[in-house]
Amino acid sequence: MDDKPDKMAIIVFSGTVDKLMAVSTLSTGAVAMGMEVNLFVTNWGLIAFRKGDYQQNMKISKDFEEFREPMMAAMQAKKVPSWFDTLTQAKELGELHVFACSQTMELLDIKQTDLEDIIDDTLGVAGFIDKSQDAKFTLFI
């Protein structure tokens, strides 16, 4: 029998909408199943969490950029919540912790006050690994 707690860790490296939608969907599903979810937001992912950036971010991964317009139109027509709104709902639903990478913050001269309130704390890599080493799932998106 697996004695690991029900926990998932996701390293959020990308700041494109398609990948952030995957992060929010996986996080929401895991939280709804009673899992604790730890997100480590770093590099381009951190930029997407600056105040207000999620409202203007329309970037799609290069491999799929030709699908950007139809994807955005379909999401708007079907009133699909943004990745940020979905993450916010997941946080209200259960145990979702969002950590900003301290090294990326220093590199890009980003302060905690520059980030959306969904960010719980700032951690270095070692701190995130310590909080997430007992996760059943670790994903890099």
pLDDT tens digits for range 73-128:
767 776 778 999 999 999 999 999 999 999 999 999 999 999 999 999 999 999 99
Please state, in angstroms and rounded to a whole number, the distance separating the CA atoms of residues 45 and 29: 20
Q: Whole-angstrom distance between the N-terminal and C-terminal Cα of the chain?
A: 29
Map out the domains of the chain with their CATH numbers: 7-140 (3.40.1260.10)
pLDDT tens digits, 20-52: 999 999 999 999 999 999 999 999 999 999 999
The pairing of strands 137-140 and 121-123 is unpaired
Structural tokens at position 58:
């329309």
DSSP-derived letter for residue 94 is S
DSSP-derived letter for residue 62 is G
